[in-house]
């Protein structure tokens, strides 16, 4: 994710686990029940002949097993009769996607490479998801698309064409499988497994800051986040879910109204001429329009602020004047400012600002009354940076292939 990982510091010794079996049978051609609304689940029950009177109740039972207990095998759904479980298994799947690899950084950051099956005429796709443990909380950074149609010049994902949107199932699966691997679901077979703990969850926060522009995949992102925040399921508070956008202005207020999560804006520049270059969507929706959409975001208050992300690019957007303009621009908007040290990638034309410059910039922002955390580097040794996700995975796999070839020789 954006947060700060420096690929120049690759650590070849970081543990990589490859070919971990999914927790149930590998995903097959059967339609999935993950990512369906309750109504759609009830329709699925109709398809396999569940009488109308029972459909809603069965849908609730399934919801509970899928999202509270986190099971990925119908056989574990003990309050559903055996013959119905068999029918479900015949018609549908709830298996997790394949984990291609899992890497664990020396600082506890984890990165997974997941493979999702082909959709239609396409090929299987690979997506990376990053988990960042912190004192008292843990943040999962998830992807919304494979590649991106936008071309922000400092972001490596932006150099890759959009392969496709992820489905609601694929967005949710990133959360489910991360919780499996972290042991963050209760033991499904115990009575405690029926309750969502209010404290101590390892995945306590979600950020849509992986690959892709979430507001260009609005319907699937909305569906997945509404399921993730459902109080009878995964129960992640909407206050702990943050959607980051480069500035798809017409969808911003809609996201607030229909999803209701926290908002982050990839601002990165305070002048249109520069933002046109760094975040080219600015040519369509310039800073003024973007900030007006932010002002209209529903429910803003000092307790519910918008996060403005600002990547620190040496000699490009990091002057004291930029900092002063930034605080002037955001006046009147309940805001937090996140300064992100630039994560370089091969062939990128930018450098990260010097540390002293970042601190001076942060001081100006602080003096204006904003807390402006500088995101500290995490998981550097496993290439977990945003904007580098896909390329890093390709490189990692090449390394794995070479290692495998070496071992076989
Ligand atoms: N497409 C969405 C969300 C994914 S990018 C968006 O642009 O907001 C998540 C964050 O990472 C954005 O703020 C993005 O600008 C930032 N980012 C991308 N590449 C980066 C890099 N190389 N170094 C630091 N931050 C980067
Ligand atoms: Fe896409 Fe966000 Fe990267 Fe821009 S910063 S290219 S919108 S992923």
Whether 288 contacts 317, CB under 8 Å: no
* Distance (Å) from CA 296 to ligand 1 centroid: 23
* Shortest-distance ligand to the CA of residue 242: 1
- Supply the residues annotated as catalytic: 128, 386
Give the residue-averaged pLDDT of 224-246.
Answer: 96
Compute the average pLDDT of residues 259-282.
98
Whether residue 13 is predicted with pLDDT greater than 50 in this model: the reply is no
Mean pLDDT of 302-311: 95
CA distance 310 to 328: 15
Q: Percentage of residues in the chain with pLDDT exceeding 90? A: 71
Give the model's confidence band at 400: pLDDT under 50 very low, under 70 low, under 90 confident, else very high: very low
CATH tag, 38-91 = 1.10.150
pTM, rounded to two decimals:
0.88
CATH code for residues 98-400: 3.20.20.70
Band of residue 210 on the pLDDT scale cut at 50, 70, 90: very high
Atom 4 (ligand 1) nearest CA: 209
- Distance (Å, whole) CA 175 – CA 201: 13
- Which pLDDT tens digit goes with each residue over 353-393? 999 999 999 999 999 998 767 776 676 667 665 555 554 44
How deeply is 301 buried, as exposed, middle or buried, from its count of CB atoms within 10 A (0-12, 13-18, 19+)? exposed
Give residue 278 CA to ligand 2 midpoint distance, Å.
10
Sequence spans of domains, the chain: 38-91, 98-400
**Is residue 130 within 6 Å of ligand 1 at its C-beta?**
no
Q: Same CATH fold, 98-400 and 38-91?
A: no
User: How far is the CA of 127 from the CAs of 10, 46, 102, 301, in angstroms?
Assistant: 20, 33, 12, 35
- Residue 244 CA: which ligand is closest? 1
Number of the ligand closest to the Cα of 2: 1
**Atom nearest to 2 CA in ligand 2:** 5
If pLDDT is split at 50, 70 and 90, which confidence band does 162 have? confident
d(CA 208, ligand 1 centre) in Å: 10
Among 311, 313, 318, 379, name the best residue to mutate to test ligand 1's pocket (greatest count of ligand atoms within 8 A of Cβ).
311
């Amino acid at each position: 994710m954006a947060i700060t990982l420096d690929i120049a510091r690759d650590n070849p010794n970081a543990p990589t686990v490859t070919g971990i079996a999914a927790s149930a049978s590998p995903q097959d051609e059967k339609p999935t029940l993950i990512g369906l609304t309750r109504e759609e689940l009830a329709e699925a029950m109709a398809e396999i002949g569940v009488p109308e009177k029972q459909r809603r109740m069965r849908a609730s039972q399934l919801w509970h097993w899928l999202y509270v207990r986190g099971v990925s095998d119908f056989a574990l759904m003990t309050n559903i009769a055996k013959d119905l479980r068999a029918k479900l298994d015949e018609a549908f799947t709830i298996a997790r996607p394949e984990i291609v690899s899992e890497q664990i950084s020396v600082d506890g950051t984890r990165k997974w490479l997941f493979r999702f099956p082909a959709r239609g005429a396409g090929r299987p796709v690979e997506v990376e998801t990053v988990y960042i443990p912190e004192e008292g909380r843990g943040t999962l950074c998830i992807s919304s698309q494979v590649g991106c149609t936008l071309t922000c010049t400092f972001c490596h994902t932006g150099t890759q064409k959009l392969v496709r949107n992820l489905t609601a199932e694929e967005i949710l699966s990133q959360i489910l499988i991360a919780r499996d691997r972290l042991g963050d679901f209760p033991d499904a077979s115990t009575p405690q497994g029926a309750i969502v703990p209010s404290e101590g969850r390892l995945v306590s926060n979600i950020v849509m800051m992986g690959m892709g522009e979430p507001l260009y995949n609005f319907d699937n992102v909305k569906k997945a986040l509404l399921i993730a925040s459902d109080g009878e399921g995964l129960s992640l508070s909407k206050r702990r879910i943050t959607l980051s956008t480069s500035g798809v202005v017409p969808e911003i207020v809609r996201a607030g109204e229909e999803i209701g999560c926290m908002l982050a804006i990839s601002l990165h520049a305070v002048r249109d001429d520069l933002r046109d270059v760094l975040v080219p969507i600015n040519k369509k929706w310039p800073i003024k329009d973007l900030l007006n959409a932010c002002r209209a975001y529903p429910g803003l208050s000092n307790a519910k602020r918008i996060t403005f992300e600002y990547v620190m690019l040496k000699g490009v957007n990091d002057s004291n004047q930029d900092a002063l303009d930034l605080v002037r621009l955001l006046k009147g908007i309940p805001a937090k400012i996140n300064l992100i040290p630039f994560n370089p990638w091969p062939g990128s034309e930018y450098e990260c600002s010097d540390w002293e410059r970042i601190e001076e910039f942060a001081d100006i922002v602080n003096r204006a009354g904003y807390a402006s955390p500088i995101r500290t580097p995490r998981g550097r040794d496993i290439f977990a940076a945003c904007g580098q996700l896909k390329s890093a995975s390709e490189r990692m796999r090449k390394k794995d292939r070479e290692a495998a070839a070496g071992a076989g020789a």
